[in-house]
Structure 1
Amino acid sequence: MRIFASTLLLLAAIPGAPALAQTTCQPGAYAAPDGDFVVLVKLPTIPAPGLRYLFRDGRRGATSDANAPLACNADGVTVKGVAWQPVAFRETPANFDSAGTRMTGMLIEPPGVDPARPLVVMVHGSERNSPIGGLYGYAMAAQGISVFVYDKRGTGASDGEYTQNFELLGADAAKALDTARGMAAGRFGRAGFFGGSQGGWVAPLAATRTKADFVAIGFGLVASPIEEDREQMVSEVRAAGLGKDAEALVTRLSQATTGLLLSDFRTGYDALDAVRREMTGQPWAAKIEGEYSGAIARMPNEELRRVGRARFDNLELIWDYDAVAALKKLDAPLLWVLAGEDREAPIETTRGALLGLVKNGKPFEVYLFPDTDHGMFEYTTNADGSRSATRITDGYLKLLGDWIKGDARGPYGRSEKLTPR
């Protein structure tokens, strides 16, 4: 166990030390007198000594930026001339076994002991980087929540092979919650999961494998990976201003690539060739991506037969995964937050499925943040139609924290609550 507290390097107190040492920010969470917070962490994308900062309202950047809205000093940080104090989290490393694989995690607890404090296991997405020491665990803990983060199998310090098999990942997440409960015994009340992106498939499944008091999801899908691919392509043609004929064509492309995937690339080539012929001469066809269909369509059949499965189907993804069936089995309260303009996980099918489940009596709450892309990022649109993320939309982090604490009363930024509960 170690205590996580952000302080300046002792070098700052040494006479004659470089001026840089007196202003270098240190990783940690810093709390304002009014309860606001900022988290600082090291990221490989930000040159040292700069750190990534994230405020509760979603503003983010590097401490080394000329216009960074905070300054560091010997006692913590100052924001607009107001001192924000370091938060001393209690951090306890953990190892646990799941399906014969040794996993590594960390329990992060806010200062003090509160037997009613919620406990949340962070179920990450498809990324391979470690969440231990990352922004989101500390951003949750800074709101008075105990947090358990762990390295997905085959990543970080966890053993095993990296996979996207939801059943196996769900078993890992369930075991992580059981482990966290044992570690925090007597120091928490309700306990459950938060999952982002791919975690939207895994966290609800995990909650059917072990007792969970709640599940919260951000920018996930209630659709299969096959449906995700199709919806991404439909989103692409709509963004390009193309019509219904283009939408129908990319739908047929998705159907053709589905045949290859579900047959382990043994059959389905005649259907794919037929769609390729339809796409010939369409100036936009070469730019279509989806999750995988664009790349499959541009690869010769002989190459697909030889390496298609190794290229596209080597992570044990359950292509036709029934996300609705998993949610039907879920009895715990659920929060689902949608990014209104999500290009990576388009929301049309997901929104309809969730509202249908609510209509049938499921205790689910659905929020939508407009003008946000995957990750709940606000963005600017570039001349070529691509997007550049600017910040996490205001209200998202606070909504997650309040809802997990059982005290979501809003408003939360520009969010719209789509359900009456």
Structure 2
Amino acid sequence: MPADLKATEVSFRGSGGLAMHGTVLAQPGAKAGRPGIVLVHGAGTGTPRTQLLGEAVEFARRGLSVLIYDKRSEGYSLFNRSYSQLADDALGAVAKLRTQPGIDPAKVGLWGLSEGGWVVPIAASRSTEVAFIVLVGANALAPLRQQTWAVAAGLRKAGVSGSLVERAEPRLYTAIADGGMFPEPYYDPAPTIAAVRQPVLGIWGVHDLLTPPKETPPLFAKALEAGGNRHYTFQFFPGADHAAHQTPDGGVTRLKTLAPGYADLVGSWVKDVTDGKLRTAQTNGPAPVQASFTVPMDPPAWWESALAQVVALLVFLVGFGAYPVVALVRRLRRASLAPVSRAARLVSAGGFGVVLGAFGYLFYVVMTGGKLAAPGPMVAGHPVIWVALQLLAVACVLATVRTALAWRRRRASVPGGERVRLGLLLAGGAVFVPWALYWGLLLP
């Protein structure tokens, strides 16, 4: 901890009585009746309090008492989380900070980063003990819509265009959410924001690649004003990223230093609003940069649901897999049979290759696509791996047609067992065509 600040270790109870631990930072000998602020993390399981130490130090040096705490890991994971639960954790921290020496309990508020931008308004709408809220990189959109945009923005910044970013990426997220592996995908923050009565300071970096910085602030303002709250100030910081840290390359790299003027604004704004000097409907700073807009992400139709995707995979497993398995058994029994068409082998092997390769690559893209996209070598705005999968998909479709025509010509001479094997293979090939179209493998 910096030598110019005093650190006090504290414990409090979060949602469900969970024991939580944190640190209060303040200037030694600070005057009594000072404001306090609790910092709420962005996404991440069990994120340590030190993750927000940079912000806490700067805010404390501006005269605030700042509580940072270790984020819960119990009941929170990549696939399971509750913003309501996190909001109750934050309120437990507020209650603790209100009891600390020198703090005016009527001047304690909340600061939330990214995911905290969904959590903090919930907490504020539940408690009059929250005096104000500060939101950084916050979203007024549903989490699934925000996440698909963030990954697409990262890919576009890496130079990707075409079906991978336009179709495959959002459709993978649709299936993930429908399969229950994306927590709170359709949470609508607007009603909660409209229920916030406290003064709001909203901060966005001009080069935010995780929150759509052009779309979000107007939606926030609309929701606040729908609830009758016009005590909000929105500030955009040039050369800043999602967390309002400095970025030298348009949001890809985050430096440790905060955007110039950010900490000063938080310190002065909190002091003003807690002294009754409210600001009304202000938006300041340069226009944010947003190369593309979000797209609605609604619950899927039955044919694009997670179940439908699983059924398609089972069809591929049986249809494409039976062909080589039967061939192997025949070879072991020394009863091999000349294939109806050599193209059948391409349908089987290529179909498997496309299905496994497409999902493998898409999951890789999703894991690296947000902010630091790494699509691999590119050609004309298309990742080489994706182009190879597309070419193989086209080859599989043509091979399916060729195999079907060959079987039709030789149908009378094909043994019954071979007919079953070819029927399964062609069933897989028939399902493969709409599947590949849906995922953009047959589109530019």
TM over 0.5: yes
TM-score (norm 2): 0.54
Corresponding residue for residue 118 of structure 1: 35
Indicate the residue corresponding to 1:379 in structure 2.
Answer: 247
Kindly state the Cα deviation for residue 161 of structure 1 after the two structures are TM-superposed: 5.2
Do the aligned partners of residues 372 and 387 (structure 1) sit closer, same or farther apart at CA in structure 2, a change above 3 Å counting?
same
Shift in Å, 1:402: 1.3
Distance 1:109 1:386 in 2: 32
Which has a greater percent of strand?
1
Mapped partners of 1:352, 1:188: distance in 2 = 32
Distance 2:39 2:253 in 1: 27
Give the Cα–Cα distance (whole angstroms) in 2 for the partners of residues 102 and 237 of structure 1. Answer: 40
1:183 CA displacement = 3.5
Out of 165, 168, 172, the residue aligned to residue 85 of structure 2 is 168
Amino acid paired to 1:28: P
Equivalent residue for 1:231, pick from 149, 153, 167: 149
| Counterpart mapping for 1:1-400 below 5 A | 27-29=1-3, 86-87=4-5, 89=6, 91-112=8-29, 114-127=31-44, 128-132=46-50, 134-154=53-73, 162=77, 164-184=81-101, 187-211=104-128, 212-236=130-154, 238-239=156-157, 246=162, 250=165, 252-253=167-168, 256-264=171-179, 309=181, 313=182, 317-357=183-223, 360=226, 361-362=228-229, 363-381=231-249, 387=253, 389=255, 391-400=257-266
Aligned pair partner of 1:416 in 278, 285, 289: 285
Partners in 1 of 2:206 and 2:118 — Cα distance? Answer: 19
Look up the equivalent residue of 2:65 and give its one-letter code.
S
Deviation at 1:122, TM superposition (A): 0.9
In the alignment, is the contact (CA less than 8 A) between 1:94 and 1:107 conserved in 2?
no
* Amino acid of the structure 1 residue aligned with 2:234: V
> 1:338 Cα shift?
0.9
Q: CA deviation at 1:28?
A: 0.9
Aligned CA-pair RMSD: 3.3
C-alpha spacing 1:263/1:234, structure 2 compared with 1 (3 Å): closer
- 1:264 deviates by 1.6
On the 8 A contact 1:92/1:108 being kept in 2, the answer is no
**CA distance change for structure 1 residues 358 and 393 in 2, over 3 Å: closer, same or farther?**
same
Offset, 1:180:
1.9
Question: How far apart in 1 are the matches of 2:120 and 2:245?
Answer: 21
Unaligned residue ranges in structure 2 (runs of 5+): 288-444
- Report if aligned partners of 1:379, 1:390 keep a CA contact under 8 Å in 2: no
Distance 1:91 1:104, change over 3 A: same
Aligned-pair CA distance for 1:257: 3.2
How many residue pairs align between the two structures? 273
Q: Could you tell me how far apart the structure 2 residues matched to 1:139 and 1:356 are?
A: 31
Alpha-carbon spacing, 1:372–1:138, altered in 2? closer, same or farther (3 Å): closer
Judging changes above 3 Å, is the alpha-carbon distance between structure 1 residues 235 and 140 closer, same or farther for their aligned structure 2 residues? Answer: same
SS of residue in 2 equivalent to 1:222: coil
Provide the rounded CA distance (Å) in 1 between the counterparts of 2:170 and 2:66: 41
Q: What amino acid is aligned across from residue 92 of structure 2 in structure 1?
A: K
**Any idea what the Cα deviations from partners look like across 1:64-83, whole Å, max 9, x if unmatched?**
xxxxxxxxxxxxxxxxxxxx
Shift of 1:232: 1.9
Aligned partners of 1:409, 1:394: CA distance in 2, in Å?
A: 23
Q: CA deviation at 1:345?
A: 2.0
- SS of residue in 1 equivalent to 2:236: strand
Are the equivalent residues in 1 in contact too, given 2:206–2:239 (CA < 8 A)? yes
Name the CA shift for 1:167/1:152 in 2 (closer, same or farther; >3 Å).
same
Shift of 1:240: 5.4
- Separation in 2, partners of 1:359, 1:254: 34
Alignment check: 8 A CA contact 2:14 2:90 kept: no
2:87 is matched by which residue type in structure 1?
A: G
Asked if the contact 1:235/1:346 (under 8 Å) is kept, the reply is no
Contact 1:106-1:148 within 8 A present in 2 as well: yes
* Matches of 1:111 and 1:320, distance apart in 2: 45
